[in-house]
Each structure stands twice: as C-alpha cells, then as structure tokens.
Amino acid sequence: MAKFNFDYAPEYALTYGKAKAGKEMTVILNLGCPDSKQWFLDNQADLFKAVDEGTLLLHLKFWNKDKDDLVNGAVADDFVDYSNPEKALEYVRDVFENQEKLNEQNVEQVPEYLETRYGVTDGPHNTDASDKVIEEAVTNDIFKLPTVIIDDQMYFDDTLKPAAELIK
C-alpha cells in the first residue's frame, strides 16, 4: 500500500506524462516561494525530458501554505488553470521567472497584476484545488516547500535532491 495519499484528478493537479511511466513523482510548490522557484527552474529540463521520454509521470500541486511571506504565491496558485495543463505550465514558468515582481505586490494588487501581466483569470476549480492540497499536506505530513515525493520517499530541505538523481 502506498505511504502517501493524493488525489490526482485533473481539477487538483497538473499531470504530465504517461500513466505507464516507470516512475511517478509528486511535487508540492508555491508560486511565491523562493525555494520552490529555485528547485523547479533548476530541474524543469530534467523533469520534462523524462516526461517526454515516457519514463516519468509528473504531478504538480500548489500548496497555499499559511505563511505571511507566501501569501502572494497563494493568490498566484489560485490562478493555475488546471483545465489546460500546457497553458498552466507556461504560467508557472513565467511566474517563477518573475517571482520577485509577484512578491513586491501588495496582496490586494496580486489578482489584477496576474490578470494584466499573464492574462489569466481565477478559474472555477481553483479554490477546490487549494483546499484539497491543504488537506493533503496535513494528511501526508508535508510541512516544507518544495516537497518532492517519489518511490514512496519524501524529499525536502536538506534531503531534497536534483530531479536527475531522483528519477534515475
């Protein structure tokens, strides 16, 4: 039985790759978290190479962690368009690449900033997705960002490794 329990329904996760891939990875991120940004941007090439080669099934989930310096990221997380994973991935990359500008905004200005800069709108399932990931973080004892789970092992902080090491 799996050690971790996640709902990978399309309205709760961005999923890339084939169900029959040899490895399955879940990555928990927050778009306003500098550590999430660093790990994702540093590892995206290896992640999506493995996805393209059919060796990795990748699930991205966005956690609106209750922490003051992540509040803008939580707002940005709610704009992820789960109905269009390719467009959502473009948005995630763009927000991470411009994270400093996101985090400079007053929280009240973030929705307008995101709509203007990225042309996104708050999707109908995003609140449900946020609530689901908050629940999953508690259920799975996740307390750090980013967190990567592969082969029933959880990696975060000092145990977090490059994607290439984790998926080999």
pLDDT in tens, 50-109: 999 999 999 999 999 989 999 999 999 999 999 999 999 999 999 999 999 999 999 999
Global pTM reads 0.95
Domain layout of the chain by residue ranges: 17-167
Q: Is 17-167 assigned to CATH 3.30.365.10?
A: no
Do the Cβ atoms of 107 and 71 come closer than 8 Å?
yes
pLDDT in tens, 116-133: 999 998 654 467 888 999
